[in-house]
Amino acid sequence: MLKKIKYTFYIISFLLYVILITNFYFSDQNIRATNKSRSSYLVKINNDTINIPLLKDDTSNIIEYRNDIEIYKKKKKKYKFWELIESK
């Protein structure tokens, strides 16, 4: 008998918890507060993006092009295996 009372108490407390949470989550007050918070973040982000300083581009002519692939191909050892395949 005590076991049944304990289980019913657990079930009732769980259901009460779920009902109260969903009631709060879908309340108008919570929805308004959430929308207000989101809009304030949006305004703050827009203000911050407008005030971002632009930096001068100093990356012109810094790329050095090298011909490493051609050097590698010249130094690479030639194998006879490839010549046997190509001869057919």
Percent of the chain with pLDDT over 70: 98
* pLDDT interval class at 14 (50, 70, 90): very high
User: Residue 88 above 80 pLDDT?
Assistant: no
**pLDDT given at position 65:** 79
Closest CA to 28 of 18, 36, 38, 40: 36
Which spans in 26-79 are helix H?
A: 28-50, 68-75
User: Residue 10 above 80 pLDDT?
Assistant: yes
Give the tens place of pLDDT for each residue, 52-79: 988 888 888 788 778 888 888 888 887 7
> How far is the C-alpha of 47 from the C-alpha of 50, rounded, in Å?
5
